Structures are given as C-alpha cells and as structure tokens.
Structure 1
Amino acid sequence: MKFQGKLFIWLAVFLLAVAITYGVWSREAAGTTALFLAFALCLFIGYYLWFTARRIDSQPMDNEEGEVADDAGEVGFFSPHSWQPLTLALGGALFFLSVIFGWWLAFFSAPVIILGLFGWVFEYYRGMSQRY
C-alpha cells in the first residue's frame, strides 16, 4: 500500500502542474476545473492509502523482493447472489425519472430505495436469537 500511496501522490503533483499550465495557457474553465478535480481526487486517494499503510503491518506487496505467491490466499467474502442491488437500482431509476415527470414520483421511489438499502445492509444478518 505504501507504493500505491506514493504513486497517487506523485500523480496528484503531476496533475497539479498540468492543471496550472493548462489553465494559464488555455484560459478555459471546464478543462481547468476538471484537471483540478482530478488532482484533488488523486490527492485524497493517495493520502488515504499512505495513512492506512502507516497504521497496518507491512503487506506482501510492500516487499521489493516479494513474489506473487506471497499475496495468495483468501481475498474476502463476496456474495454469491443478491437481488438487493437490483431493487436499489430500480428505486434510483424511479427517483431520477422524477426529475423528468415530476417530483411526486420521488415519494414512490423513496420506499423502494429504503427497502433496497435495508435489504442490502442486513442481507446476512441473522440476529442474536437465531443460532447456526
């Protein structure tokens, strides 16, 4: 993670130089703003990775003499199937349609969004009363 943090911070420095140069030479607001926003986003990601790398132990990817096999193993838990993202996407689509057809449609999409979020967050929650 240390290398990735440094990489993003150096990318942010480069984007800052490009944004300043582009802004001075072109005097165009949209591109200059986009470059400054890209600079800010790279800086945020770089700082987060650098800050996180300081707080955790050294990872296999930080070892310059490490092999790819050193980082092998379980990556994490991924849900094999879930209908909740579809529910959330349907609610989000209805909400954005309310901009076109009228804000009254947002009142119908809000329960669908809340149901999708609630279902996704508590999808694997079984509660204290149920034992495996």
Structure 2
Amino acid sequence: MSAPTSTILVVEDDSIVRMLIVDVLEELGFRVLEAEDAKSALEFVENTNEVIDLMMTDVGLPDMNGRDLATQARKLRPQLPVLFASGYPESIEVQPGMQSITKPFSIDQLRNKVKQMLDAA
C-alpha cells in the first residue's frame, strides 16, 4: 500500500517545521498536502475528491488541538490513519489506526513510522 504516490496531509502551525516535514516526505516520494491549522486541514478532509492516505498532525495547534482534529477528520473518513507529532507523546491517547512520534524526530524515524502506518492501513 505504501506506493510512492501515497498522499499525506501534514498539519503543523510552525511554518519552518512544516516545511521540513513536507520536504522530507516529498523526497521520500510522497504527495503532500499542507495545512497550517485544523480549519485548513478539515477543508482537505471534507473534499471527497481529495485522496488522503495518512494525516500527520501536531498536537498543539492554534485553533483546535490535534486530537480534536483527528476526531473531526475520522467522522468524515473513519479509516484515516493519524500520526500525532508531539514533544509530549505520553500525553496522547491513541485509538486504533493512530500512532504518535516524539518531536524532535529523525528523518529515518519519520520514514519508518509513515511506511509502517501506510502498510498497516
């Protein structure tokens, strides 16, 4: 399932961090959608013409936290795998199909986690 054409929605309010994550994922061959907040992310999720194979979201977003975003996104796309990025991963309750990665993370950690989640989906 982790064909190079998998699409990942990256939700991160810090533009520099978002740019780095997007660059890494694009170099790994993924198609990447970018959102700076939950509102923008939900616009992608609500667009039924848009394929999203995985959503990677920061937990601390300015308008809605990442957990609430995941809940909203899953109402529209119940099978959507969600990867939470957080400096405090132990504070994240992950449901089936969701995982977390600790910031800061290496390129290898990100690649391995994303491929593992896409393969499982």
Q: What TM-score results when the alignment is normalised by the length of structure 1?
A: 0.19
Identify the structure with the greater strand proportion: 2
Identify the structure with the greater helix proportion: 1
- Higher normalized contact order (CA 8 Å, seq sep 6+, divided by chain length): 2
Determine which structure has more spread, i.e. the larger CA radius of gyration. 1
